[in-house]
């Protein structure tokens, strides 16, 4: 039996309510927010339920609400509370309810969205950012356990997320692993040696290890190529056209600012491409703010440190829709 509902899970402030409303307009489906539904039925705010009855009472209300939805709901968009998937029983119900999309955001992004919201009972503490980090770490495995798809909301625009959900609303595709390529340009092999205050103290082997672990985590094949020579980089891009590569992450280094030859090579290949920069190029020298290669790519990520590589990989995997 095909799954009919779209279910949005994720930490508070990850964008579930916003995406639910946008999807509702886009797909002409009704949206059900479990938190709002519980508040309406209880005649009081969640903060009041927590204060008067305790968290465990509220979690039981969530379970009862999900059980009812599994029996009655069809072709709806369901947005659930951030703590709903913590209960194993709830995770089983979510899987039965529909195709589950985990909207994943960084702790810093979440904090910026919710720091002024007084209706978050779990964040009424001295250091809400640390509380967010702690709760997210505790819940991560629960989110991933029941998710059909994981969407990095920091790496994709709202329209890209909406398109991805609409394309994959019928459920997970069982396909062969993707073949991805990471290209690093001049001086990237000197990570941990050059300008540590800008590029960090981790060396190139650390980056290779990060990407290797990402490949194991996703089950995809990720090849890494590095060269200090423009022609070698162009040759590798052209090879990708013939060897079955399905997505390219590229840090062109200084070639970013003037290599129209690399731009042309990238533009010749229609697979997804992401340009990555470790530092925030918008806050550096004027010449570094210019990228002649970015227009040949689908996205540019900068200022995220080495994590930007992982965000770029997630973007390509999400764009292709293969898990």
Domain of 19, CATH number, reads 3.40.50.300
Residue with tokens 């806050």: 283
Same domain for 57 and 87, yes or no, is yes
Q: Which one from 111, 143, 277, 309 is the annotated catalytic residue?
A: 277
> pTM score > 0.75 for this model?
no
Same domain for 49 and 112, yes or no, is yes
The DSSP element (H or E) to which 96 belongs, if any, is helix 88-97
Tokens representing 316 are 């390509």
Q: How many domains does the chain have?
A: 2
pLDDT at residue 55 in the model: 87
Same domain for 187 and 307, yes or no, is yes
Q: Which one from 102, 199, 255, 309 is the annotated catalytic residue?
A: 199
Same domain for 52 and 124, yes or no, is yes
Residue with tokens 């309406």: 40
Distance CA 111, CA 202 (A): 27
Distance CA 169, CA 161 (A): 12
Interacting residues of 243 by C-beta distance below 8 A, sequence separation 6+: 179
Same domain for 19 and 156, yes or no, is yes
Query: Average pLDDT of each block of 10 consecutive residues along the chain (323 residues)?
Result: 80 88 91 93 91 91 94 91 92 92 90 73 72 88 88 86 84 70 96 88 94 89 96 97 94 96 96 94 90 94 92 84 48
pLDDT at residue 271 in the model: 92
- Cα dihedral 152, 154, 160, 166 sign: positive
- Residue 172 belongs to a domain: no
Same domain for 52 and 129, yes or no, is yes
User: How high is the mean pLDDT of the chain?
Assistant: 89
- Residue 241 known to be catalytic: no
Domain that holds residue 21: 5-167
Same domain for 22 and 161, yes or no, is yes
CB 306 within 8 A of CB 281: no
Tell which residue, 280, 259, 273, 260, has the closest CA to residue 320: 273
Tokens representing 66 are 């999900």
- Residue 174 belongs to a domain: no
Residue 62 C-alpha from the chain's centroid: 25
**The CA-based dihedral angle spanning residues 263, 265, 266, 270, taken in that order and rounded to the nearest 10 degrees:** 140
Same domain for 22 and 107, yes or no, is yes
Q: Determine whether 312 is exposed, middle or buried from the number of CB atoms within 10 Å of its CB (0-12, 13-18, 19+).
A: buried
What 43-48 contacts at long range (C-beta under 8 Å, 24+ apart), as own/partner pairs, is: 45/119, 46/81, 46/119, 46/121, 47/118, 47/119, 47/121
Same domain for 215 and 254, yes or no, is yes
pLDDT at residue 113 in the model: 81
Last residue within a domain, chosen from 140, 167, 194: 167
- Residue 277 known to be catalytic: yes
Last residue within a domain, chosen from 167, 196, 221: 167
- Residue 105 belongs to a domain: yes
**How many angstroms separate the Cα of 319 from the Cα of each of 61, 99, 196, 231, 289?**
36, 17, 33, 29, 26
pLDDT at residue 219 in the model: 85
Same domain for 160 and 243, yes or no, is no
pLDDT at residue 318 in the model: 75
């Amino acid at each position: 039996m095909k799954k009919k509902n779209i279910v949005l899970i994720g930490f508070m402030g990850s964008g579930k309510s916003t995406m639910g409303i946008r999807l509702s307009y886009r797909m002409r489906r009704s949206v059900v927010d479990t938190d709002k539904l519980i508040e309406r039925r209880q005649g009081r705010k969640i903060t009041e339920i927590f204060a008067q009855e305790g968290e465990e009472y509220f979690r039981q209300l969530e379970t009862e609400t999900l059980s009812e939805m599994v029996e009655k709901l069809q072709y709806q968009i369901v947005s659930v509370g951030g703590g709903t998937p913590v209960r194993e029983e709830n995770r089983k119900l979510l899987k039965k309810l529909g195709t589950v999309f985990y909207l994943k955001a960084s702790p810093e992004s979440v904090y910026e969205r919710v720091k002024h919201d007084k209706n978050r009972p779990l964040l009424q503490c001295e250091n809400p950012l640390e509380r967010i980090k702690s709760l997210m770490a505790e819940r991560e495995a629960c989110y991933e356990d029941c998710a059909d798809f994981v969407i990095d909301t920091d790496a994709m625009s709202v329209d890209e997320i909406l398109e991805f959900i609409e394309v994959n609303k019928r459920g997970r595709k069982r396909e062969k692993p993707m073949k991805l390529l990471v290209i690093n340009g001049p001086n990237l092999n000197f990570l941990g040696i050059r300008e540590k205050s800008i590029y960090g103290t981790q060396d190139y082997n650390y980056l290779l290890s990060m990407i290797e672990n990402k490949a194991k985590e996703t089950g995809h094949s990720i090849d890494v190529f590095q060269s200090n020579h423009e022609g070698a980089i162009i040759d590798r891009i052209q090879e990708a056209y013939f060897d079955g590569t399905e997505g390219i992450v590229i840090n062109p280094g200084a070639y970013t600012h003037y290599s129209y030859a690399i731009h042309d090579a990238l533009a010749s290949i229609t697979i997804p491409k992401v340009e990555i920069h470790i530092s925030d190029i918008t806050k550096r020298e004027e010449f570094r703010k210019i990228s002649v290669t970015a227009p040949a790519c689908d996205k540019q990520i900068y200022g995220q440190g080495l994590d930007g590589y992982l965000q770029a990989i997630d973007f390509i995997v999400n764009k292709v829709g293969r898990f």
